[in-house]
Structure 1
Amino acid sequence: MLGTVQSSHISPVFVGRSAELTALGETLSRAHAGEPRALFVGGEAGVGKTRLIQEFLGRAAADGAVVALGGCVETGADALPYHPVSTALRSLRRQLGAELDAAVAGQEGELARLLPELGETDRGRPETDGRARLFELTVRLLERLAADRTLILALEDLHWADRSTRELLSYLLRALTDSRLLIVATYRTDDLHRRHPLRPALAEYERLRTGTRLELPRFDRTEVRRQLAAIRGEAPPEQVLDRVFERSEGNAFFVEELACSILEGSPGGISDSLRDLLLVRVEALPDEVQRVVRIAAEGGSEVEFRLLATVTGLAEDELIETLRTAVGAAVLQPADEGESFRFRHALMREAVVGDLLPGERSRLSRRYAEALEADPTLVRSEERAGRLAGYWFDARDPARALPAVIAAAAAARGRHAFAEQHHLLERALELWDDTPEELRRQSMRQGVEDGLGPAISPDMPGDFVDLLAAITVAARLAGERERALALCKRALRKLEGDLSPSSRLGSSGGDPLRAAWFWTERYRLVRDLSRSDGWDEIAQAQKLLKGLPPSVVHADVLTHAAHWSVVHQPARTALKTAEQAVELCRMTGAEITGLAAQHTLAWLTIHSGDVEAGLARARDVCARDLEPGNASVVLNGYGNLSTALHGLGRYAEAVETAEEGSGLAERYGLPNTASFIDGNLAESLIHLGRWAEADEVIERALGRRTVSVRIRALIAERRAELALARGAYDEARLRIEESESSSTGSYPEPQHTLAMGRMAIALAIADGRILDARSLLESAVGEAIPFGHHRYGWPLLYEAAAAEARARGLAVAEPGRKAAVERIRKAMKGQPEFVPLWAAQALMTRAELLTAEGRDATAHWTEAVAATEQLEAPALLATARLRLAEALITQGRAGSRSAAGELLRQAEAVARELGAAPLETEITTLAGRARIRLRQADGEAAPPLAPAASLGLTARERDVLRLVAAGRSNRRIAEELFISPKTASVHVSNILAKLGASGRGEAAAIAHRLGVFDE
């Protein structure tokens, strides 16, 4: 729009800052070498941050770097979420064109929330997982663009940044790896009061390995001299230097302003007021130019040329000449390639705005709002709602402001900017009482249609309670849970107060449907805040809905109620609740909630005994095509299905499911979900004896970006399990403590307490603390193991029974032994055994209890070994073989020594291969005591082998062994038997364990010698 205009008031020579430029250059070099970096440049207003960054970016661009610049807006930041990032991405798209479009291919719908030019925004539910995906995809985009070039993302005026921008920046700094990206951001130090939100954010950025802070000092006297000389074209007289240095105190911008006043012959009495000093240059402009400058100041940090023309009423040519004068006087400067204009320095804009009268400001804001309503194309589409809301709010016209603010809040939610949505809705709350009732209803109805918040009831009344509902959800999604809970309570009081005494419904609301919705929100919040387990809240919601027609609120409440039962008290009645929830979701069209309800019903169906029907239901959910609305539920379903398969002892299937789900979540852009699924994957790998692979999966899970506290607790539990099995007890204690501190809270769930109890008992026995083990069992189990937690209950009971058996003969253990054994037997009653894994664990537990009582457990251990041989659990099988060998040796019957020796050799081979040090020690100790040789010396005949029938190979394992003997690879075996290579690998591992073979060749030889194939 305007050509370059050089002002004589600005130094044409870059003065000083050599140390700062060196620091910037060093940081750029590190980024250029593939180490992403971030540098935060702070300093007081006017000290020269922008000039320094411009100099640096110019040099970097000359050296081949791609530079993208974005600035935070001074006012209305909450109405324009992600503005600096969007501006920078727009700059990148102009520079890179098709390359950027190719980099976002397939993700346009999500990234359009940041850059609308990419296309239509995905219409999925705007929940927290959606925002996490947006952040992850932004990181991936920048990593792709900075893979083969140095990319600089420069963000100015971070002190004005909206919360979503700060959080996205935090994610970028944590997540970026192996890219040539440099982020440079500036901020004002003098604006950072104690409660400024950037203060803790900067502290966090600096703690990260990628972030560094750089404080910009004022100029010293020598540098002020050089700056004045550059502006004047000659060295300044000493008295001028003294005067300028004294008044400016080395602030570069103030030096320019003082130099300008002196050069233009201003009387010596320049005002001591900063505002007056800043206004000197504006007041020297012609009246018409001053008018345009004042109008531009009220328009915002940056005002579009067409919008300014509309508000000023000037013809295009006239406005261009007016702006040329303001630019020449170094008051305004072109931005966005001349399509918009901004003040050369924000301090000058602040001074101009401060000089406007209150009525003048509101009138100008109204003119901006009216211009934008008349022609929405005057600003970019993603800014329109936010700018209009800001203008109408500043115009102090509630009737026009409320609809605009609600529309802006809906737009913010559509961009996953929940903090900004919350702020805008709080502003709507301020405007509510001053707005006509019918307009309120219309605004809320339109807002709900635009995605503002929940449509609680079909008729959508659009009253004050609906506004409270929208703010509650926004506050919860923004992480402001205390505020959300307070709003819930306020809404419920309002609903109750609307009732007449004769129609009052208990202690709940006059509109039971909406009251039930708020009780469900309270359920979520009290659980998140660890105020309670949530049962009172969800029970109250169910009570309110009795007798009402079916609705999406019914479906949601029943789905939560069923899930609560699964987690806390999964009684058999929960199955009926889950079935009702699934049916209600179908009837009311609540598809996403229906998927969650199906997960819950599948789990309850499995544990009620109909295993295959439950698994089929769970698989049906996982088979859905991934969409923005259902991705979170579907991908979490893979984790739930894998853990269900694991609990059934179908570890190989669990591994396949988890690997598929983890890969999908990673590709879809939900790394936290991928790490959750990997936690389940690691558990199944541990039980399959693939410990090295489990270690790799755990490292992968922890290495992903921004792993949540809950997932870290899950991973810590897996690491504790591995450490226990390997005998690294100190590490196990550390990991258990880490997991408990993150996952239990005030209202722990049985799936955590039972698992933690089992490992705590194992540690107590390793330390010889049998009395502590008994206390731990009582604490973990209480009256009984809850229905539906068999997968956690059986291992816990076995550990407790094994502890009693190992402690037999200890004087300290004798007094309470009988009661302890009876407690375990009591807990076993009612525990289902219809799954082969549970049946095997039950047999092993009973055998240990017999041993603890000093009775012969040989028959039970024989059954237990036969049962575990049918499983995919080499460590469990080795344990059962060890215990059977011990029973045989203890009884001393004819031929038992030979059988015990074979069992011990098989068990020792597995323990040695796994690295299960405690198990191996037990085996070698027993063998030494019984004088049984575990391994043959060189040249010595091999120990006699057990009969082929006693090896416990399943029919499928014999098929696999036949192909192993034929020299087939796992992949070839998989192809011939129509199974996956991973499953083939599992079968081979189980075969080696059962045969006690060290490798595939030895396994084949053993099979031929025993005539396995002849059978």
Structure 2
Amino acid sequence: MALELGVMGPELMGRATELDDIGASLEAAISGAACTLVVSGDPGVGKTALVQHACAAVSSEMWILAGAALPLASMTVPFLPLRSALRRGPVLEGIPNPGLGPGGWAANDVIVAIDDWLTELCLVRPVVLVVDDLQWADQGTLDALMYLIAGPADRRLAILATQRSGELGELHPLQRWLADIRRMPRISWVALEPLDRTSTGAQIAQAMGSAPHQSLVQEVFSRTAGNAYLNRLMVSGLRPETRHLPQTLPEDLKSAVLRSWRGMSDGARQLTQLMAVGGRPIRAQDLAGLSQQAGTRHDAAAILRETTEAGITECWPNGTHWWFHHPMISEVLEQGMESGQRRDWHALFAAYGARLLAQGTTPDFEFMASLAQHHYDAGNAGEAYRWTLRAAAAAGSAGGSNEILRLLHRALALHGQLPQVDESREELLHRLRTAAEAAGAMEDELDALEALLAGLDPAQRPLEVAELLVRRTLLRFSSGLEFFSVDALLQAVRLAEASPESWQYAYALAELAHVGLWKDDPDAHRTAATALEVARKAGNPRALSYALTANSMAALFGERPDEARLLAAQGAAAAVRARDFWALLHATMWQANATEAWSSQAFADLMRSGRQQLSMLGAPHVYLSKMAADEASSYLSIGRWRECGQALRVALGTDPGPLGDVAARLTAARLAALQGSQDEARAHLARAEELFAHKSGYNNLDFDAVRAEVFLAEGDPAAAYLAAMAGAGKEGQPPTMCEWLVPLAARALADMVQGARDEGADTADMLASIDELVARFPSVLRESGNDTPFYSAQVEAFELLYRAETGRARSDAENAAQWIAAADACQSGSLRWEEAYCCWRAVQALLLHGHSGHGQAASFLRRGLILANELHARPLQDSLLEIAARARIATYQPSIGQASGGSIELPGLTVREREILGYVVAGRTYGEIARSLVISEKTVSSHISNMLRKTGTANRLDLSRLATRHGPEHFSPDGRR
């Protein structure tokens, strides 16, 4: 269904503020700042009309692509709103419209194709993409929108979506999606409330063509509560002099819709009711066939013309299918029917389907799913069950993993209602488990496993129960419920040890060793060796993969990295043979761990390669997401924040699953904190903590270090200290980012000491805490088995950083030298964020201790600014610029003529744009610039909009700040030109 969004409709009443809000978002997109705005409100409150008006106002400046989701009950049409939107897209030479053909494309390919196409369009002209009725959108559409929302910040793209409020239950798929995008940048929300009485009166006057009687306004307002859609329906057809609503008019939405509907012929009313029961767009010939089967023999084509003229239905753009002009009409018609009649008509649809089959129709997935739904609603449990299972099987060949899960859940519900069926409940649970595993739906798989375990007798089927217990442990870990259950794994080993040559025994031993190695269990190495011996004899690739990876861990912890790499590579190969994506992820991670520190380019490259392998194998996104999240973390640690952002976009572009989500959120929180976006950092961290109940119990996640960095960025060193110490004091193997923890604790204490000194408070207790920290941790923490030259350089950098922080707290006279040494060591270890931080502290220390001349301080200040500018580390930028201003240190040589509006150099700008930028930096108004250059103010505005888009800045102030800070990029680290 396409929305007419390029044409201005009747004037909206009472929506000036909301129109301004949407207009500001669209103007931002035109200027080069990508944005997303979600309009929510009750059905009929006027969301679509609001978006229509806002888009019409910019239709001469933007391409408007719009589509609407539909409430299809028995099937899912992938990317339905986007299909409609793309049909409205421009046809440009060299920029082919992806088209979204009817099938055969993998979802990820479609999403990337749409993204690439929109990127190309936005280079030519700004674009607004509208998706109406988001609550009915299929998962593919939601995934695509998430990917687009996470796209480039400087793309001239605005995404507008409308969503019904009050109709989403806690388990509705959209709830998770909305929760995720709330924590993403560049998201705005407009909550559309009903009209007040005054605006209702104005709307009625507009609809009736003259001022209505106040008695009518009051009656309409009391019944509709200001719902704009109901207001229009309520007064449709009334004469201007009407004082009261007719007594026969109902008081709710259903009655209002039925009033208009009753004006049609008997045949039109009957066939539209029949369409509503069908639940999805229908062909005219099928509507005619259903009418004939019902014994009415209506002229369907004539009736569809009547209903279209009445504004009840409309023909789809493809010219073959018909549906209601507004989806609410379908809802109201079906809800207004007696339950018996509704059930009879669902039976009619079911019988018509049987007739088509008898005539030779080959049932495809959509046909089977629709037939299953009609049998279900008709109360035919047996036929519903049979067709549900057939549809589930067909959905597999159609690539509909989510549909398989939905159908199998329904089959399980129906199974209990039937006295005798061929399949057992256990068989259905196994099918559900298999489908969930293939889809990466870990929560569904976990539920199926729990149900299976509840019905199995361990004494009768010990090997099967052992395998389920191990898999359940992995799923509970991946869902954030617990960091592996040793008790469950011990139970699995005990159950399987009666069959010492079984693959289940090897599988249970391997995972027991895996957990034992994390917890420093001295028996874990022996357990891993036994698991590998059994797995090789059993010949099962799944058990072999887990056993090889457990032994890879043991070799690495035993400081045998070459052996560890070989074992992990073999484990990955076995996982591919088993098509066990969890095992492949696990093996790839340990192969990378045995190659280089996770905080390295080499590790990031291995994660990217592993992600590509998973993608080629068709792995569900939850596994790719975790790999992309770890890739992002590696890139961030070495300062490659743009690559980090790209990997995060992959991780969060579609549903990442709990493990990938939490890993990506922690990295996103750290990136936001380092770049000065504190609200965003806090939101990402809150999402991570919401996902995982045991926030600090996961040694493989960097909760504590990230929390410490976020708290420090927020100016809360006391909380940062507690967070860092919580991570440093963990038992077992050191957690990820362990090297950061002790220096962060020292930094927090130094900040507290410095704050107390500034206030003239006593610092004795804080200095004692510094002494206690150094006594407890004379050196920084480091990971086991990692002893590469690169990692050793990083550890040395953290040692020097730790020493410099304690020196800062103690006001050590040699603190400047400590910071200089730490900065140089961080440079050697590719720790660019820490290097920039050390430069700032070095400048402070050099100036604080009165070193003669400012030469060295100026050199480190410029070096720090170069890094801070490249990293977009705004807090460090501001701190260094503040020092430069206070100490009168030149950060760069101003361009000649800048103060009077001369040209300023910024990459990518035209000669005219550089000229205008000089005036912007000088603080000139649009009018002053226009008069100086003898051009129009509109031309000045256009040039500035282009500069905002090219530089990724949000406004003139940010653009001016960027221009004045651009100078340090022309310096080498030692300050020479």
Q: TM-score band (shorter)?
A: 0.5 to 0.7
CA distance 1:31–1:794, change in 2 (3 Å): closer
* C-alpha separation in 2, matches of 1:216 and 1:328: 31
| 1:702 positional shift | 6.7
Work out whether 1:352 is the aligned partner of 2:302. Answer: no
Match of 1:396 among 379, 391, 414: 379
Q: Secondary structure at the match of 1:748?
A: coil
- Determine the structure 2 residue equivalent to 1:177: 153
* C-alpha separation in 2, matches of 1:101 and 1:181: 16
Match of 1:117 among 77, 102, 115: 102
Q: Secondary structure at the match of 2:697?
A: coil
| 1:824 positional shift | 11
| 1:290 positional shift | 2.5
* C-alpha separation in 1, matches of 2:246 and 2:671: 76
Work out whether 1:493 is the aligned partner of 2:447. Answer: no
CA distance 1:308–1:87, change in 2 (3 Å): farther
| 1:281 positional shift | 3.5
- Determine the structure 2 residue equivalent to 1:522: 472
* C-alpha separation in 2, matches of 1:189 and 1:737: 24
The answer to whether the 8 A contact 2:80-2:138 is kept is: no
* Aligned-residue RMSD, C-alpha: 6.7
Match of 1:642 among 583, 587, 592: 592
CA distance 1:604–1:248, change in 2 (3 Å): closer
After superposition, give the CA deviation of every residue in 1:716-752 in whole Å (9 maximum; x if it has no partner).
89999x99xxxxxxxxxxx999999999937735667
CA distance 1:712–1:268, change in 2 (3 Å): closer
Work out whether 1:477 is the aligned partner of 2:428. Answer: no
- Determine the structure 2 residue equivalent to 1:1006: none
The answer to whether the 8 A contact 1:643-1:680 is kept is: no
- Determine the structure 1 residue equivalent to 2:248: 270
Match of 1:34 among 28, 32, 35: 32
CA distance 1:536–1:624, change in 2 (3 Å): closer
Match of 1:319 among 290, 300, 304: 300
- Determine the structure 2 residue equivalent to 1:899: none
| 1:297 positional shift | 1.4
The answer to whether the 8 A contact 1:302-1:340 is kept is: yes
* C-alpha separation in 2, matches of 1:220 and 1:588: 71
After superposition, give the CA deviation of every residue in 1:266-307 in whole Å (9 maximum; x if it has no partner).
995433444444323333433332221221110115333343
- Determine the structure 2 residue equivalent to 1:71: 69
* C-alpha separation in 2, matches of 1:879 and 1:613: 29
Work out whether 1:368 is the aligned partner of 2:345. Answer: no
Q: Which amino acid aligns with 1:538?
A: L
Q: Which amino acid aligns with 2:627?
A: T
The answer to whether the 8 A contact 1:45-1:188 is kept is: yes
* C-alpha separation in 2, matches of 1:25 and 1:259: 30
- Determine the structure 2 residue equivalent to 1:466: 430
* C-alpha separation in 2, matches of 1:169 and 1:295: 33
Q: Secondary structure at the match of 2:124?
A: coil
Match of 1:331 among 277, 297, 312: 312
Work out whether 1:537 is the aligned partner of 2:516. Answer: no
Work out whether 1:309 is the aligned partner of 2:288. Answer: yes
The answer to whether the 8 A contact 2:489-2:508 is kept is: yes
* C-alpha separation in 2, matches of 1:704 and 1:295: 44
CA distance 1:249–1:367, change in 2 (3 Å): same
Work out whether 1:16 is the aligned partner of 2:1. Answer: no
> Residues 200-599 of structure 1: matches in 2 within 5 Å?
205=181, 208-213=185-190, 215=192, 217-218=194-195, 219-229=199-209, 251-256=228-233, 258-260=235-237, 268-274=246-252, 275-313=254-292, 318-372=299-353, 383-406=366-389, 423-440=406-423, 463=427, 465-466=429-430, 469=433, 477=441, 479=443, 484=446, 488-496=449-457, 505-506=458-459, 510-527=460-477, 528-531=479-482, 533-547=484-498, 557=508, 559-569=510-520, 571-580=524-533, 583=536, 587-588=539-540, 590=542, 598-599=548-549
Q: Secondary structure at the match of 2:314?
A: strand
Q: Secondary structure at the match of 1:349?
A: helix
Work out whether 1:677 is the aligned partner of 2:631. Answer: yes
CA distance 1:555–1:363, change in 2 (3 Å): farther
CA distance 1:488–1:872, change in 2 (3 Å): closer
Q: Which amino acid aligns with 2:472?
A: R
**Identity score, percent:** 19
- Determine the structure 1 residue equivalent to 2:565: 615
Q: Which amino acid aligns with 2:413?
A: E
Work out whether 1:710 is the aligned partner of 2:651. Answer: no
CA distance 1:603–1:813, change in 2 (3 Å): same
The answer to whether the 8 A contact 2:41-2:193 is kept is: yes
CA distance 1:738–1:394, change in 2 (3 Å): closer
Q: Which amino acid aligns with 2:153?
A: T
* C-alpha separation in 2, matches of 1:53 and 1:272: 29
* C-alpha separation in 2, matches of 1:343 and 1:777: 59
Q: Secondary structure at the match of 1:117?
A: coil
After superposition, give the CA deviation of every residue in 1:27-50 in whole Å (9 maximum; x if it has no partner).
333333333333333444444444
- Determine the structure 1 residue equivalent to 2:86: 92
After superposition, give the CA deviation of every residue in 1:155-196 in whole Å (9 maximum; x if it has no partner).
222344467755664554344533333323233446468997
Q: Which amino acid aligns with 1:290?
A: R
Q: Which amino acid aligns with 1:466?
A: H
The answer to whether the 8 A contact 1:299-1:365 is kept is: yes
CA distance 1:177–1:368, change in 2 (3 Å): farther
Q: Secondary structure at the match of 1:155?
A: strand
| 1:325 positional shift | 1.7
CA distance 1:147–1:192, change in 2 (3 Å): same
Q: What is the TM-score normalised by the length of structure 2?
A: 0.60
* C-alpha separation in 2, matches of 1:185 and 1:419: 23
The answer to whether the 8 A contact 1:559-1:578 is kept is: yes
The answer to whether the 8 A contact 1:41-1:213 is kept is: yes
- Determine the structure 1 residue equivalent to 2:942: none
- Determine the structure 2 residue equivalent to 1:604: 554
* C-alpha separation in 1, matches of 2:404 and 2:583: 24
- Determine the structure 2 residue equivalent to 1:187: 163
Q: Which amino acid aligns with 2:430?
A: D
> Residues 915-994 of structure 1: matches in 2 within 5 Å?
none
The range that moved more, 242-251 or 330-339, is: 242-251
Q: Secondary structure at the match of 1:39?
A: strand
| 1:601 positional shift | 3.6
* C-alpha separation in 2, matches of 1:41 and 1:588: 53
Q: Secondary structure at the match of 2:162?
A: strand
- Determine the structure 1 residue equivalent to 2:860: none
The answer to whether the 8 A contact 1:148-1:180 is kept is: no
| 1:65 positional shift | 1.3
After superposition, give the CA deviation of every residue in 1:207-242 in whole Å (9 maximum; x if it has no partner).
65232315264443233222222xxxx888999888
> Residues 731-742 of structure 1: matches in 2 within 5 Å?
none
After superposition, give the CA deviation of every residue in 1:599-649 in whole Å (9 maximum; x if it has no partner).
444333445565434323445677999999688766775543332123699
| 1:263 positional shift | 10
* C-alpha separation in 2, matches of 1:23 and 1:299: 39
> Residues 808-957 of structure 1: matches in 2 within 5 Å?
873=793, 876=796
